[in-house]
């Protein structure tokens, strides 16, 4: 069975509380339940990880080597600032898909730049929770 690592970055743990008009009223626990259901339907195993720290996210990506067949990552604000996260993704060689709940191409100018995108085979943005299940489908169809 394929093993997929799902990484969520800073403030994603505050879903439901945080700017609900942008990110929705559902909580991080609701997101985890949604991801688990999508994984079950797709017949893949998932591990979900969330951190507010860039270094912890880099550590988690590094630890995926030899453990996971795919990575789904919503680096949140680090999308627009971090070079270490795409470097780590490239270092692992594991296929990765970038997900954003909101449509980052249609918000503030500074959100239009994603350093993560160049380390990912696909980016899914603006589809809310559904983006994570699409990412599972993308990774399920790739052999690694
Ligand atoms: C986000 C978009 C980012 O710009 C923002 O900093 C986030 C969440 C999203 O899922 O839409 O924290 O990654």
What confidence tens digit (pLDDT) does each residue in 71-113 have? 999 999 999 999 999 999 999 999 999 999 999 999 999 999 9
pLDDT given at position 28: 98
pLDDT given at position 144: 67
pLDDT given at position 123: 98
| 125 CA: nearest ligand 1 atom | 11
Query: Which residues are near ligand 1 (CB < 6 Å)?
Result: 11, 74, 76-77, 79, 100-102, 104, 111
pLDDT given at position 143: 63
pTM confidence score:
0.97
pLDDT given at position 142: 87
Please give the chain's pLDDT, 144 residues, in tens. 999 999 999 999 999 999 999 999 999 999 999 999 999 999 999 999 999 999 999 999 999 999 999 999 999 999 999 999 999 999 999 999 999 999 999 999 999 999 999 999 999 999 999 999 999 999 999 866
pLDDT given at position 26: 97
Number of Cβ within a 10 Å radius of residue 41 = 11
Cα 76 from chain centre? 8
What letter would DSSP give residue 47? E
pLDDT given at position 126: 98
Whose Cα sits closest to atom 8 in ligand 1?
76
Distance, in Å, from the CA atom of 94 to the CA atom of 100, rounded to the nearest integer, reads 19
Q: Which of 28, 78, 100, 132 is catalytic?
A: 100
Percent of the chain with pLDDT over 90: 98
Contact 44, 136 (CB under 8 A): yes
Name the 3-class secondary structure at 15. coil
């Amino acid at each position: 069975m394929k093993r997929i690592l799902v990484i969520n970055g800073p403030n994603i743990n505050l879903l439901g509380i945080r700017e609900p008009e942008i990110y929705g009223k559902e909580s991080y626990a609701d997101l985890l339940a949604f991801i688990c259901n999508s994984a079950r339907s797709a017949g893949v195993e998932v591990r979900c990880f969330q951190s507010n720290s860039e270094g912890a996210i880099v550590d988690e990506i590094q630890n995926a080597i030899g453990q996971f067949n795919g990575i789904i990552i919503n680096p949140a604000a680090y999308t627009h600032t971090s070079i270490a996260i795409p470097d780590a993704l490239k270092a692992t060689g594991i296929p990765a898909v970038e997900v954003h709940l909101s449509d980052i191409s249609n918000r503030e100018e500074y959100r239009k730049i994603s350093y993560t995108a160049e380390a990912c085979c696909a980016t899914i943005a603006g589809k809310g929770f559904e983006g994570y299940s699409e990412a599972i489908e993308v990774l399920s169809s790739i052999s690694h």
